[in-house]
């Protein structure tokens, strides 16, 4: 478990899920880039892990005026089971828990958080199919919502790819999502999406692709039907390793939305999910991410929200092999469309810095600080804008054992 994640992101997950499968990939490649694993994966493995973390937040509820500090002690165990090699045919199950041991702020939820991922990959000479199911129950700050929320997410992915020729292949992608909030003030919704892809190999290890998809956002509350919409997107993407020291994966495109409510005009915006990483000097690794997506608004402020975010990061060895430092900077904005906040734009920025030290093969310690500030644009006048703005800082200290 890394001690420093992206600014104001939860420190216990990598993207949506736990990071056990990422650890298994590093293990399979024979490296210890992220975790001190030195166990070979042959036909299967069970990889337990546990961390004890202390968090110090200076604004745990993201309140604009009445900031509440909190100190948390958390126990974070996990277990990855994998059968097969990550680079080939395999099945895996990854489960993690976040157990609150102590919170100085009494208003916080004391229930444990659960993170589960099940999946597999099967490939033949010309075809490959992969799928995964995920569940997460987590309470933490949410940059888009602008509050501390407790929610449950279910996600299922299925992908199929078939090679058409030496340089071309075709694929199908499918995803289903369910998002539920514990608080009644937020709107639960489902998302369904399917897409087709055409790949073309432009170099030995790089493929470009074009993707066209269709989907639906479906709020569960009847009175929130204004945000129910069908959507279509078209994008251009890349995957692979463009050079020995650089690789980029993801897509950039455009989305069009058509709403069930006839009075609502159609809406469109650019979208992106792109990540890149480079090691130009050998010791340091530089990374960049670009994300943009349109989602139904989870409160009554608008019909849709568009979250656009850019993240820059760097990590490298510090002085000795077992000590690594990392920094990141985040810049983003949230556009509101429809409803009472139509045309509103909130901007946010943040940074994180941390260090990880492996004292032994399986033991490590980490220290990190992250900061996030959001400048709101809600209402008229400085007072209304101040009421939608906040800042938060978080210290994280952890001790980890990984098998």
| Percent of the chain predicted with pLDDT > 90 | 48
- Residue 382 in 3-state DSSP? helix
Residue 7 lies in a domain: no
17 secondary structure, DSSP code:
B
112 secondary structure, DSSP code:
P
Q: What's the rounded Cα separation, in Å, for the pair 321 and 358?
A: 9
Q: Which helix (H) or strand (E) holds 22?
A: helix 20-28
pLDDT range class, residue 303, cuts 50, 70, 90: confident
Q: How many structural domains is the chain composed of? A: 1
Residue 53 has a CB neighbour count (10 Å cut-off) of: 21
Q: How far is CA 300 from the centre of its chain?
A: 24
Question: Where in the sequence is the domain holding 342, given as residue range(s)?
Answer: 20-402
Q: What tens digit of pLDDT does each residue of 98-145 get?
A: 899 999 998 888 899 898 889 999 999 899 999 999 898 988 878 777
365 secondary structure, DSSP code:
E
Q: What one-character-per-residue DSSP string does 347-364 give? A: EEEEEEEEEEEESSSSEE
Q: What tens digit of pLDDT does each residue of 223-245 get?
A: 556 678 999 999 999 998 889 89
Helix, strand, coil tally for the chain in percent (to 5): 5, 65, 30
CA distances from 334 to 74, 95, 306 (A): 31, 32, 5
Q: What's the rounded Cα separation, in Å, for the pair 378 and 342?
A: 10
Q: What's the rounded Cα separation, in Å, for the pair 367 and 373?
A: 21
Nearest 5°: the CA angle 28, 242, 310 is 90
Q: What's the rounded Cα separation, in Å, for the pair 273 and 157?
A: 16
Nearest 5°: the CA angle 345, 347, 352 is 160
Question: By C-alpha distance, which of 306, 303, 288, 295 is closest to 250?
Answer: 288
Q: What tens digit of pLDDT does each residue of 317-360 get?
A: 888 888 989 999 999 999 988 877 788 899 999 999 999 888 87
Question: By C-alpha distance, which of 328, 365, 311, 286 is closest to 3?
Answer: 365
97 within 8 A of 21, measured Cβ to Cβ: no
Q: Which of 20-24, 91-95, 131-135, 205-209 has the lowest mean pLDDT?
A: 20-24
| Percent of the chain predicted with pLDDT > 70 | 86
Paired with 236 in beta bridges are: 210, 252
Q: What one-character-per-residue DSSP string does 42-95 give? A: SSEEEEEEEEEEEEEES-TT--SSS---EEEEEEEEEEEEEEE-TTSSEEEEEE
241 within 8 A of 274, measured Cβ to Cβ: no
264 within 8 A of 280, measured Cβ to Cβ: no
- Total residues belonging to the chain: 403
Residue 373 lies in a domain: yes
Residue 182 lies in a domain: yes
**Residue 360: per-residue pLDDT:** 76
Average pLDDT, the chain: 83
pLDDT range class, residue 9, cuts 50, 70, 90: very low
- Structure tokens of 383? 């007072």
pLDDT range class, residue 38, cuts 50, 70, 90: very low
Q: Tokens 């200290």 — which residue?
A: 397
Q: What's the rounded Cα separation, in Å, for the pair 382 and 346?
A: 14
Q: What's the pTM value of the predicted model, to 2 decimals?
A: 0.86
CA distances from 222 to 3, 180, 181, 188, 261 (A): 42, 15, 16, 11, 12
Beta strands in 143-167 (DSSP E): 147-163
- We report the CATH number of the domain holding residue 129 as 2.40.170
Residue 12 lies in a domain: no
Residue 8 lies in a domain: no
State the burial class of residue 236 (Cβ atoms within 10 Å of its Cβ: 0-12, 13-18, 19+): exposed
Residue 69 lies in a domain: yes
3-state secondary structure 241-283: CCECCEEEEEEEEEEEEEECCCCCCCEEEEEEEEEEEECCCCC
What would you measure as the largest C-alpha separation in the chain, in angstroms? 63
Residue 4 lies in a domain: no
- Structure tokens of 295? 């989602």
Residue 15 lies in a domain: no
């Amino acid at each position: 478990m890394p001690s420093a994640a992206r600014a104001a992101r939860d420190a216990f997950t990598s993207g949506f899920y736990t990071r056990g499968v990422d650890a298994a990939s590093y293990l399979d490649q024979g490296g210890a880039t992220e975790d001190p694993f030195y166990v070979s994966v042959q036909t299967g493995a069970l990889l337990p892990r546990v961390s004890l973390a202390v968090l110090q937040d200076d604004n745990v509820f993201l309140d604009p005026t009445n900031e509440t500090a909190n100190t948390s002690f958390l126990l974070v165990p996990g277990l990855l089971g994998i059968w097969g090699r990550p680079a080939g045919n395999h099945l895996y199950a990854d489960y993690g828990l976040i157990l609150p041991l102590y919170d100085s702020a009494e208003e916080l939820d004391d229930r444990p958080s659960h993170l589960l991922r099940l999946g597999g990959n099967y490939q033949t000479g010309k075809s490959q199919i992969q799928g995964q199911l995920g569940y997460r129950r987590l309470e933490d700050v949410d940059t888009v919502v602008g509050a501390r929320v407790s929610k449950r997410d279910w996600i299922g992915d299925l992908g199929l790819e078939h090679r058409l020729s030496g340089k071309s292949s075709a694929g199908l992608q499918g995803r289903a999502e369910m998002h539920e909030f514990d608080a009644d003030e937020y709107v639960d919704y489902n998302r369904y999406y399917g897409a087709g892809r055409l790949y073309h190999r432009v170099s030995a290890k790089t493929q470009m692709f074009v993707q066209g998809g269709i989907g639906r956002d479906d709020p569960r509350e009847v009175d929130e039907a204004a945000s129910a919409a069908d959507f279509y997107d078209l994008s251009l993407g890349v995957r692979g390793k463009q050079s020995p020291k650089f690789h980029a994966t993801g897509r950039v495109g455009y989305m069009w939305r058509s709403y069930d409510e006839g009075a609502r005009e159609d809406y469109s915006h650019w979208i992106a999910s792109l990540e890149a990483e480079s090691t130009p000097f050998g010791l340091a690794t530089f990374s960049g991410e670009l994300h943009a997506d349109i989602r139904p608004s989870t409160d009554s402020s608008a019909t849709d929200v568009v979250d656009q975010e850019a993240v820059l990061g760097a990590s490298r060895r510090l002085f000795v092999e077992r000590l690594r430092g990392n920094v990141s900077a985040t810049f983003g904005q949230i556009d509101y469309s429809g409803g009472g906040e139509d045309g509103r734009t909130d901007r946010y920025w943040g940074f994180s810095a941390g260090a990880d030290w492996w004292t032994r093969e399986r033991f490590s310690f980490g220290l990190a600080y992250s900061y996030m500030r959001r400048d709101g644009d809600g209402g008229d006048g400085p007072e209304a804008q101040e009421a939608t703005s906040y800042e938060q800082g978080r210290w994280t200290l952890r001790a980890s054992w990984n098998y």
